[in-house]
Structure 1
Amino acid sequence: MYSIEGVVPVVHPAAFVHPTAVLIGDVHVGPRCYVGPLASLRGDFGRIVLEEGSNLQDSCVFHTFPGTEAVLGRDGHVGHGAVLHGCVTEPGVLIGMNAVVMDDALIGAYAFVAAHSLVKAGFVVPSRTLVAGSPAKVVRTLTPAELAWKANGTRVYQDLAERSRTSLVEVAALAQAEPDRPALSTSADVAVPLDQARATPSEPNKRLVG
């Protein structure tokens, strides 16, 4: 955490920010948020806001132009390596891995931005739609099953924030696995990739986290 010109990042006690993430200046991280390893949130020009229950995963970058405010809305879900710059997302949005969302873009509520897509400056993504490509274009309306899949994945990250706050500690690696090695509390019963969820419509509670 770094202050700049006396402005200090704000992190709610119920959020988790990984120790290798960097937060600078006017950054606001709300309750039940998760900020992953090596993420960069630079509030050195304008304000960066993560609303309640959102997650910004490993190696993501969140920045904005001077005098502006960039917002990841409530229950937002940003995959590994994505870049958000000067944009606003409404509640329930999914930004895929390595996607780029540019300045003044507005991602409507519960919309999905596909992995590796580029949302150009000023583009408005309609609510509950999938956009993909470079530049991103509207592909179709999302199904109720896809929206449920995303909501479940976000809950898994909200749970991860709590798990990390209560049990994540830095350790030295073992030379070999112990014979009675414990299993983690998450499994395929909690979440699966979207392609698997689509292939098993009889099991609608299996969803993706990544």
Structure 2
Amino acid sequence: MPLFEFEGKRPSVHPEAFVAPTATLIGDVTVEAGASVWYGAVLRADICTIVVREGANVQDNSVLHAAPGETLVVGRNATIGHGCVVHCREVGEQALIGNGSTLLDHAVIGPRTLVAAGSVVTPGTELPGAMVVSGIPAKPTKPVEGSSSALWVEQNAPYYQELAKRHAAGASEIG
């Protein structure tokens, strides 16, 4: 996996985390135990800090970065879906960011919030916890609890934790 030091800051990856061999981590990035960073993802912490908490997953081709001096935290057991641009302050614990979503400067996504695929969270937005949000700009539409969305929020992180173990043990480059 490409790990790059930048101005004396280097990525830290827990031995029990999975980082795909084609993911790129640059600078002040921390990936905690049980977390996963998938193929083609780029976490660029050259002017910021990025922390991927325990059990969280950053899926294929997503890009994480933040404003100068800011810390971007992906909460425990949170999911960043495929092809997302995450340039915010926080993705709460067990939140799920749907494929192709964009989260802009200083935004905060509450715990257990599901951001629907393709949504755009505008700069400085603070989304409450346990809500389904969607649209451009993203707005809360209904509570996660009692909806089919709750299954995605509850089951996605454990699924990716198990899948990461399988990739760590069984994925190999072929000639």
Q: TM-score range by the shorter chain?
A: over 0.9
Q: Distance in 1 between matches of 2:156 and 2:108?
A: 22
Partners of 2:51 and 2:150 lie apart in 1 by: 23
Structure 1 residue 151: deviation in Å? Answer: 1.7
**Equivalent of 1:69, from 62, 65, 71?**
71
Equivalences for 1:33-72 in 2 at 5 Å?
33-72=35-74
Do residues 128 (structure 1) and 105 (structure 2) align?
no
Give me the whole-angstrom Cα distance separating, in 2, the residues matched to 1:6 and 1:75.
29
User: 1:167 matched to which residue of 2?
Assistant: 170
- Between structure 1 and structure 2, the one with the greater Rg is 1
Q: 2:110 is matched with which residue? A: 108
- TM-score under structure 2 normalisation? 0.94
- Report what 1:158 is aligned to: 161
> Does structure 1 retain, via aligned residues, the 8 Å contact 2:144–2:150?
yes
Residues 132 and 144, structure 2, Cα contact 8 Å, conserved in 1: yes
Length, aligned pairs only: 172
Moved over 6 A (4+): none
1:2-32 residue CA offsets vs partner (Å, 9 max, x unmatched): 0011211000111111111110010000111
SS at match of 1:156: helix
Tell me by how many angstroms 1:160 deviates: 1.3
Quote the sequence identity (%).
40
Normalization by structure 1: what TM-score?
0.79
CA–CA separation in structure 2 for the residues paired with 1:153 and 1:88: 19
Instruction: Quote the RMSD (CA, aligned, Å).
Output: 1.1
Q: Distance in 1 between matches of 2:89 and 2:166?
A: 29
Residue 167 (structure 1) shift:
1.6
* Post-superposition offset of 1:154: 1.4
Match for residue 28 of structure 1? 30
